[in-house]
Amino acid sequence: MNKPRLVVVAGVIEKQGNYFIAQRFDNASQGGLWEFPGGKIEVGETPSQALERELYEELAIRTVTGLWLADSVFDYGDKIVELKGYLSHWQQGEIQLNSHQQMAWVSLSQLGNYQFCAADYPIITALHDYIALKSHTEV
Ligand SMILES: Nc1nc2c([nH]c(=O)n2[C@H]2C[C@H](O)[C@@H](COP(=O)(O)OP(=O)(O)OP(=O)(O)O)O2)c(=O)[nH]1
């Protein structure tokens, strides 16, 4: 039997130098692990539309999708996840945690203290690279 291949979008939201991360419910797939919020792309959606819809459903905030950070493919055994990571810019609303058991705002260096879903590590690397590049090009 072919394994399902899910195409999933995830958004990195920054506020005052910290990044939003959320912990999956213990009883979900990849339970208890941390992630960037997002979810599966539905038929007919662009990645940005899917991400803006998911962040509204999961966190009740309106966002605009920004720069693409990285794509990552990981085989979890029962399914293959193709994760697309983007920056997401918070526009409106206060965060309500509708789909996660915990949230945190953490600095770039603190991201290393959390155990993320395996597919997220290339996104975290791309975020580090992006921030390093940005700090070198800003005067
Ligand atoms: N939203 C999100 N999902 C991620 C990330 N990293 C990662 O491996 N995933 C995986 C976990 C899930 O298997 C899948 C996304 O599914 P989902 O968040 O829409 O919801 P779900 O729990 O209903 O998924 P599933 O159990 O039906 O597979 O992608 C991430 O950073 N954000």
Domains parsed from the chain with CATH numbers: 5-137 (3.90.79.10)
> Does ligand 1 come within 6 angstroms of the Cβ of 101?
no
Q: What is the reported pLDDT for 94?
A: 98
- Measured between alpha carbons, how far is 12 from 38 in angstroms, rounded to an integer? 9
> Does ligand 1 come within 6 angstroms of the Cβ of 52?
no
User: For the segment 9-53, what is each residue's pLDDT rounded down to a tens digit?
Assistant: 999 999 999 999 999 999 999 999 999 999 999 999 999 999 999
- Amino acid letter, 48: S
**What's the rounded mean pLDDT across residues 47-60?**
98
User: For the segment 101-113, what is each residue's pLDDT rounded down to a tens digit?
Assistant: 999 999 999 999 9
> Does ligand 1 come within 6 angstroms of the Cβ of 116?
no
**Atom 16, ligand 1: residue with shortest CA distance:** 39
> Does ligand 1 come within 6 angstroms of the Cβ of 6?
yes
ipTM field: 0.91
According to DSSP, residue 27 is labeled T
Residue 135 Cα, ligand 1 centroid: separation in angstroms? Answer: 31
> Does ligand 1 come within 6 angstroms of the Cβ of 124?
no
- Measured between alpha carbons, how far is 120 from 85 in angstroms, rounded to an integer? 8
Residue 139's pLDDT band (cuts 50, 70, 90): low
User: For the segment 68-88, what is each residue's pLDDT rounded down to a tens digit?
Assistant: 999 999 999 999 999 999 999
Residue 105 Cα, ligand 1 centroid: separation in angstroms? Answer: 20
